[in-house]
Structure 1
């Protein structure tokens, strides 16, 4: 006698979720928004710097901000957050090779 079992697929097994995955994390979303805002401000200021030491400072600051951004995204993934950020400031791409 052969039993008829449903075919197993990657999606057939459900991962147990705890309440932490179901919660909304506005503070994490706010931190990500702030980090993106700081990255944009850094890019603007980099375009305006003329002193070599300050240009170098902007480069190191950008690297630190990118590390923080990656950390925040990893934290969001661990919490199971997949929210598209809304309400981000819109900045023109002035000084980026545009008009």
Structure 2
């Protein structure tokens, strides 16, 4: 039987890679907040100017930015979940 687990110390630079990934997650969350603010403003302008196309684009932007924030925030949990599912196969 082969039993192999991830090795956090097997290669040089793993800790720096974790730092970089954490920084990228932070940037992704910040950009999601920015996109949410811009999309909400566009949605408001579209709704107040009777422009349904602009309002719908703003709504889509709000949904996409919220989805991006969910994926950024839950990425570690999702990967760990699927890792555990793969280990039980």
TM class by shorter-chain length? 0.5 to 0.7
Give the CA RMSD over aligned residues: 3.0
Give the TM-score taking structure 2 as reference length: 0.56
Provide closer, same or farther for how the CA distance between residues 30 and 45 of structure 1 changes in structure 2, counting only shifts above 3 A: same
Cα distance in 2 for residues equivalent to 1:60 and 1:26: 27
| Corresponding residue to 2:43 among 26, 39, 46 | 46
Work out whether 1:37 is the aligned partner of 2:61: no
How many residue pairs end up in the alignment?
65
Moved over 2 A (4+): 18-24, 76-79
Structure 1's unaligned 5+ residue stretches are 1-17, 80-99
- Report 1 or 2 for greater relative contact order, CA contacts < 8 Å, sequence distance ≥ 6: 1
Cα distance in 2 for residues equivalent to 1:29 and 1:77: 16
Task: Please say which structure displays the higher CA radius of gyration.
Answer: 1
Structure 2's unaligned 5+ residue stretches are 1-6, 9-13, 80-89
Give the TM-score taking structure 1 as reference length: 0.51
